[in-house]
């Protein structure tokens, strides 16, 4: 089922979870253990992240070769495995980095053949070692361009002219940033970019993580005023240790409100810190549910134990 159809038919906010493929050379069993603990909460969708490869140059026999190396491969395989093992819809992340337009088309055709009909279309982060995003030769520079290509394939339009081409059937999600994308000069420009992605064919939006309900509410209001009418699903991340209070703002360019920081810092033990952080995020989630959001998207990362504890508070 498409994400937007599930939202339309749901009587309460849907739950979606975001997981990361295990590092290369490790077992998928750890991921399964995480999923086994979370599936009782009946997530409607499981998102699986994708990261572009790091490119290194190696010399062999006096010839320098360009070698892409990926730390966490397997996004498509994990989506297929989870869908088969748990009978749940999966949403692979699909990025611009590392793909030409022709490679993008081939990868999308593979997803289509696998019966995967939901995609989260992202530009992606710069490759490791780069401060700016650099597209592949004949690749996409912006997520809106990727959305356009997927949307065209949904209409049976491919890179080469084909007779009686069969259209794909992808539901396309994109990212939104309640505190604006860190590369955008201001919030107004950021909303313009988001609207352009929707105009190119995006069906729904998942937000970057945020930690204050007002950030989401203001973001939705700005989006609606700009004419964006698609569902906007809030993304939240459980907090469970003090290190996150520094690492999350640094890595994701978001703000953690003082009342959350204070509650966690005043706790005396690691378990009390954990409980304080998860309780604060549960309060945020409840405000979102009361606001009648279309769903909750939980960034699980790690082993998912903090997510499990959060969901126990919300759903018992």
Mean pLDDT of the chain: 90
pTM here?
A: 0.90
Pairing relationship of beta strands 45-48 and 54-60 according to DSSP bridges: unpaired
**Average pLDDT over every residue of 165-189:** 94
Q: Per residue in 123-148, pLDDT tens? A: 887 666 666 777 778 888 899 999 99
Tell me the per-residue pLDDT of 265-312, one tens digit each, with 9 for 90 and over.
999 999 999 999 999 999 999 999 999 999 999 999 777 899 999 999
Mean pLDDT lowest for which of 69-78, 172-181, 303-312? 69-78
- Helices (H), strands (E): how many in the chain? 11, 10
Residue 258 has pLDDT above 80, yes or no: yes
Residues 176-186, mean pLDDT to the nearest whole number: 94
CA distance 223 to 221: 5
Q: Which residues pair with 95 in a beta bridge?
A: 122
Kindly indicate the confidence band of residue 63, based on its pLDDT and cuts at 50, 70 and 90: low
- Residue 21 pLDDT exceeds 70: yes
Task: Give the start-end residues of each E strand in the chain.
Answer: 14-19, 45-48, 54-60, 63-69, 89-95, 118-122, 171-176, 204-209, 232-236, 295-299
Q: Helix, strand, or coil here: 36?
A: helix
State pLDDT tens for residues 200-221.
999 999 999 999 999 999 999 9
pLDDT given at position 302: 73
Beta pairing, strands 232-236 & 295-299 = parallel
At residue 231, what are phi and psi to the nearest 5 degrees?
-60, 140
Query: How much is the pLDDT for 288?
Result: 98
- pLDDT on residue 250: 93
What integer pLDDT is reported at residue 161 of this predicted model? 84
For 215, residues 6+ apart whose C-beta sits below 8 A from its C-beta are 178, 179, 255
pLDDT for 117 = 95
User: Domain residues for 116?
Assistant: 3-315
Confidence of residue 27 (pLDDT cuts 50, 70, 90): confident
Confidence bin at 71 (pLDDT 50/70/90): low
Q: Is the pLDDT at 62 greater than 70, yes or no?
A: no
- Contacts of residue 73, defined as CB under 8 A and 6 or more positions apart, other chains included, come to 21, 24
Instruction: Round to whole Å and give the CA distance between 145 and 135.
Output: 12
CATH number at residue 295: 3.20.20.220
The per-residue pLDDT for 22 is 82
How many structural domains is the chain composed of?
1
> Mind giving me the DSSP string for 159-176?
SS--TTPPP---EEEEEE
Report the pLDDT averaged over residues 233-253: 95
Q: What share of the chain has pLDDT > 70, as a percent?
A: 91
Of 161 and 297, which is predicted with more confidence? 297
Q: Which helix (H) or strand (E) holds 309?
A: helix 305-315
pLDDT higher than threshold 60 for residue 72:
no
Predicted confidence (pLDDT) per residue in 81-111, tens digit:
999 999 999 999 998 887 889 999 999 999 9
């Amino acid at each position: 089922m498409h994400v937007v159809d599930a939202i339309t038919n749901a009587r309460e906010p849907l739950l979606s979870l975001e997981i990361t493929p295990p590092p290369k050379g490790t077992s998928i069993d750890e991921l399964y253990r995480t999923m086994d603990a979370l599936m009782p909460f009946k997530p409607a969708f499981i998102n699986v992240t994708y990261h572009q490869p790091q490119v290194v140059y190696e010399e062999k026999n006096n010839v320098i070769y360009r070698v892409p190396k990926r730390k966490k491969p397997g996004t498509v395989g994990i989506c297929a495995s989870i869908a088969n093992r748990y009978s749940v819809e999966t949403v692979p992340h699909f990025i611009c980095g590392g793909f030409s337009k022709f490679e993008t088309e081939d990868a999308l055709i593979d997803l289509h053949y696998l019966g995967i009909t939901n995609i989260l279309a992202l530009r992606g982060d710069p490759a490791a070692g780069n401060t700016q995003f650099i597209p592949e030769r004949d690749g996409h520079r912006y997520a809106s361009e990727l959305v356009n290509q997927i949307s065209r394939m949904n209409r049976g339009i491919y890179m080469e002219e084909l007779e009686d081409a069969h259209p794909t059937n992808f539901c396309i999600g994109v990212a939104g940033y309640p505190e604006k994308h860190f590369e955008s000069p201001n919030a107004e420009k950021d909303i313009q970019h988001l609207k352009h992605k929707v105009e190119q064919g995006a069906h729904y939006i998942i937000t970057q993580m945020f930690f204050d309900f007002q950030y989401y509410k203001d973001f939705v209001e700005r989006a609606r005023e700009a004419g964006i009418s698609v569902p906007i699903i809030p993304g939240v991340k459980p907090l469970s240790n003090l290190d996150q209070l520094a690492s999350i703002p640094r890595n994701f360019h978001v703000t953690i409100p003082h009342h959350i920081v204070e509650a966690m810092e005043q706790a005396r033990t690691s378990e009390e810190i954990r409980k304080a952080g998860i309780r604060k995020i549960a309060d945020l989630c409840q405000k979102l549910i009361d606001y009648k959001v279309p769903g909750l998207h939980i960034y699980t990362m790690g082993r998912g134990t903090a997510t499990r504890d959060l969901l126990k508070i919300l759903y018992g």
